[in-house]
Amino acid sequence: MYEIEDIEKYRDKIDKKVYRFNLEAQEWILVNLKKGTVGGQHYHQGIARLKNPEITVFVSGKIEYTLKDLANNKIEKFIVDSPKIIKIYPNVFHELRAIEESFFLEPYDDESEKNDIIGEIVKLIKAIADDWRIISDLEKTSASKIFHPTVIEEEETRQFVNDNEVFLIDVDGKIIGIIAYQNKADQFYISEFIIGKEYQNKGCGKQALNLLLEKIGNSKSATLRTHPENTPAIITYLKAGFKIKGWKENCYGDGEPRLILIKGE
Ligand SMILES: CC(C)(COP(=O)(O)OP(=O)(O)OC[C@H]1O[C@@H](n2cnc3c(N)ncnc32)[C@H](O)[C@@H]1OP(=O)(O)O)[C@@H](O)C(=O)NCCC(=O)NCCS
């Protein structure tokens, strides 16, 4: 998840210490966090070379780090005194709180600023019937040969929210998708899962599915259906531990087959 390294002392006298390090970067940013300020609150996807891992040359001050490994939701909290070099690996959400006024250097990476950085982590917010329009819009804009919308009209969408545990997927205060399940007698049925088109393939679906699986726990198996050509969905489910259990022709009356997937038994 992370590494903390001492910085080599080049000169170490009673009144003067000189540190030396060798890091690849042409441009640097110098960050100043006043005492009590919170920084970071993001993670990198590992696309930008200079952010894989993200390297911070912690020059002065004292910082409390809170890290969350998004692969397994493991959280670590620790305090670092300067000077140190801190390396944080991709897909680790990190928040920094300055216990003392702190200064640090980070390599500036243009690609990272544009494509690699994801601000907030994903949250699930329980939907209510009045959220029907946002749900219906996501359903409509996702419709395709491989994705049959469950609900579109107001009344059926309100009914869907009443009959299912529906969650809005929130990133940085913006609703980017929905995920829903039904708690059936013998298993959990994941009845809906959509990430809005412009937010797909950025790791949000994976996080949302993991949060839902955490919520439902593993007292019963979880099952769902997806189209056999829905590669992003199949990969997302298989990576979350689902296995292919069966095949159903004309599953939703749209003439298309569906794979039946299951996690736990
Ligand atoms: C299926 C869906 C929810 C996935 O959400 P997403 O946010 O795009 O997925 P993520 O970015 O979190 O990716 C999850 C995993 O699948 C992989 N993946 C996603 N899209 C992929 C693609 N097109 N090709 C290959 N792998 C893909 C990712 O690499 C990732 O694995 P990794 O992070 O371990 O490498 C989203 O594509 C979607 O809403 N599709 C339209 C609606 C739909 O089909 N829903 C499913 C109904 S059953």
Q: Which of 3, 113, 109, 112 is nearest to 58 (CA)?
A: 3
Question: What's the gap between Cα 56 and its chain centre?
Answer: 22
Domain CATH number, residue 37: 2.60.120.10
Ligand 1 contact via 45 beta carbon (within 6 Å): no
Span 7-36, pLDDT tens digits: 988 888 888 889 888 888 878 889 998 888
Question: In Å, what is the CA distance from 164 to each residue of 156, 158, 180, 227, 261?
Answer: 12, 10, 6, 21, 19
Q: What is the pTM of this model?
A: 0.69
Q: Is 231 in the pocket of ligand 1 (CB under 6 A)?
A: yes
Cβ contacts of residue 238 below 8 Å, gap of 6+?
244, 261
CATH number of the domain bearing residue 254? 3.40.630.30
- The reply to whether 142 and 257 lie within a common domain is yes
**Residue 123, CA atoms < 13 Å, CB-side half-sphere:** 11
The answer to whether residues 131 and 112 belong to one domain is no
**Neighbour count for residue 72 (Cβ, 10 Å):** 8
User: Domain span at residue 180?
Assistant: 123-263
Of the three residues 103, 118, 133, the one that is the final residue of a domain is 118
Of all protein residues, the one whose alpha carbon is nearest to atom 22 of ligand 1 is 232
Say whether both 87 and 54 belong to one domain. yes
220 C-alpha to ligand 1 centroid (Å): 24
**In a shared domain, residues 114 and 127:** no
Of all protein residues, the one whose alpha carbon is nearest to atom 35 of ligand 1 is 203
Do 6 and 113 sit in the same domain of this protein?
A: yes
Q: What digits encode the pLDDT tens for the residues 193-233?
A: 999 998 898 888 988 998 899 899 889 999 999 999 999 99
Whether 226 lines ligand 1, by a CB cut-off of 6 Å, is yes
| pLDDT block averages, 10 residues each, the chain of length 265 | 90 87 85 86 83 92 93 91 95 92 88 65 91 97 93 96 96 89 96 94 88 90 97 96 96 93 92
Question: Cα dihedral angle (148, 153, 158, 162), rounded to 10 degrees?
Answer: -30
**Is the CB–ligand 1 distance for residue 160 below 6 Å?**
no
